Amino acid sequence: MATHSNQFQPDFAPKAPGEYLKMFLEERGIKIVDFARRTGRPTKTISEIISGTASITPDTALQFEKALGDSASFWLNLQTKYQLSQARAKDQAAAKDEVTVAWAKKFNINEMLRLRLLENKPSNGLLVDAILRAFGVSSVPAWEAHWNERLSLSRFKQQEHAKIDPYNVAVWLRCGELIANEIETAPHSASGFRTALTKARDMTKSPFRKSSKSLVDDCAEVGVAIAFVPSVPKTGLRGCAYWASKDKAVIAVSDRMKSEERMWFSFFHEACHILEHSKRAVFIDHDQNNADQTLDVDIEQEADNFAAEFLVTSRVVNAFRNSFSISHHAISEDSFRAFAKQNDVSAGLLLERLQYEGIIPQNSRLNSKIKRKLEFQL
């Protein structure tokens, strides 16, 4: 016969299940030795459960159900809640450890809020837990194991100076990862992705805000998730590329330099990594790539060349040299735009390529007239 106690759900800090068992036995006038006989358990086992040195197993819970009328699930829930509360208390104590707190303070909380990795600014007591949850890991060692591996498998190597903050790098990467996770993609198709890139090249001639959704949709249809992630200080990050699974690739690009042209170049650079390079590596591209001798320079140069040629070919560059051989510096905005239109390229990307080649100076007056500003919003 069921009793009132099978509906009992404590709403305070759980006690050991044995304390409730002791209370129920006393209420019903049942001695421990008698209860042991009725359940077929040794008296020692019942005493250990009451003292909290032994746990209630599923078999024991079924025996308690028959002997007391309280459901087996009731006893197992008590045991589970108690063990969870003990584990949580241990976890909270670990979060207050000086080393752990020092680790948490290395993160830029304002940037995590801005990138929506955190909903609210956590109190000091909840800081560690909030950061671990934001990164989807259970502990500081788990975070270090995952992110150290992630960065060491990449072509990115931290510079020996204060300009690059690895914790900021991790924040930016995590934001891109979460955005990409939300994008449903079809199984990857390399040929389909090349077709999508050709279409994307046409998009570069229009303002980015008009084409960003189409770019994401087109790439998702061929197995590539695209994430537009606002830049984070002290990272120098331009973009990254990796494989989330055998059928899903991810490209994240930054709005660093607040320039559409730089963003497009980064996108096509990362696209080369997806099409041509290792599926095991995480390619993280930043301002110091060319200066970092630990990088595979050939791979990065190949990606740069791919992006440059895909966007503005050498043929177009040579045609510009021939058309404006004397007056590179004096070319008017109208003439420049007319040449870009005639050669079916983005005027801003043409200017960027010509400046890279040293044909037009970096401080050209055309910058403010032709290049487009860009800033991502989450």
State whether 342 and 248 are in the same domain: yes
State whether 55 and 116 are in the same domain: no
List the domain range (segments joined by +) for residue 86.
4-95
Task: Return per-residue pLDDT of the chain as tens, 378 residues.
Answer: 233 333 344 445 578 999 999 999 999 999 999 999 999 999 999 999 999 999 999 999 999 999 998 899 999 999 999 999 888 888 887 777 888 999 999 999 999 999 999 999 998 888 999 999 999 999 999 999 998 888 764 544 444 445 788 899 999 999 999 999 999 999 999 999 999 999 999 999 999 999 999 999 999 999 999 999 999 999 989 999 999 999 999 999 999 989 999 999 999 999 999 999 999 989 998 875 544 444 577 899 999 999 999 999 999 999 999 888 766 667 899 999 999 999 999 999 999 999 999 999 999 999 999 999 999 998
State whether 328 and 183 are in the same domain: yes
| Overall number of domains in the chain | 3
State whether 102 and 173 are in the same domain: no
126 is written with which tokens? Answer: 């909840």
State whether 229 and 336 are in the same domain: yes
| CA–CA dist 151, 361 (Å, integer) | 36
| CA–CA dist 101, 128 (Å, integer) | 7
The answer as to whether 159 is a domain residue is no
State whether 121 and 79 are in the same domain: no
The answer as to whether 40 is a domain residue is yes
**Which of 80, 95, 110 lies at the terminal end of a domain, its last residue?**
95
Residue 129 vs residues 95, 137, 141, 355: alpha-carbon distances, Å: 7, 10, 13, 48
62 is written with which tokens? Answer: 């079924």
For 133-172, the pLDDT digits (tens) are 999 999 999 999 998 888 764 544 444 445 788 899 999 9
> What's the order of all strands across the beta sheet hosting 248-254?
224-229, 248-254, 237-245, 283-286
Residues of the chain by 3-state class (helix, strand, coil), percent to 5: 60, 10, 35
299 is written with which tokens? Answer: 């791979």
74 three-state secondary structure: helix
The answer as to whether 158 is a domain residue is no
Return the bridge partners of 239, or none: 253, 285
270, 276, 277, 282 alpha-carbon torsion, rounded to 10°: 20
The answer as to whether 375 is a domain residue is no
The answer as to whether 366 is a domain residue is yes
CATH of the domain at 69: 1.10.260.40
CA dihedral sign of residues 338, 342, 345, 351: negative
| CA–CA dist 59, 332 (Å, integer) | 87
Nearest of 171, 173, 263, 151 to residue 271 by alpha carbon:
263
State whether 86 and 119 are in the same domain: no
The beta-strand segments (E) located in the chain are: 224-229, 237-245, 248-254, 283-286
State whether 270 and 291 are in the same domain: yes
State whether 178 and 304 are in the same domain: yes
State whether 351 and 212 are in the same domain: yes
State whether 68 and 120 are in the same domain: no
The answer as to whether 378 is a domain residue is no
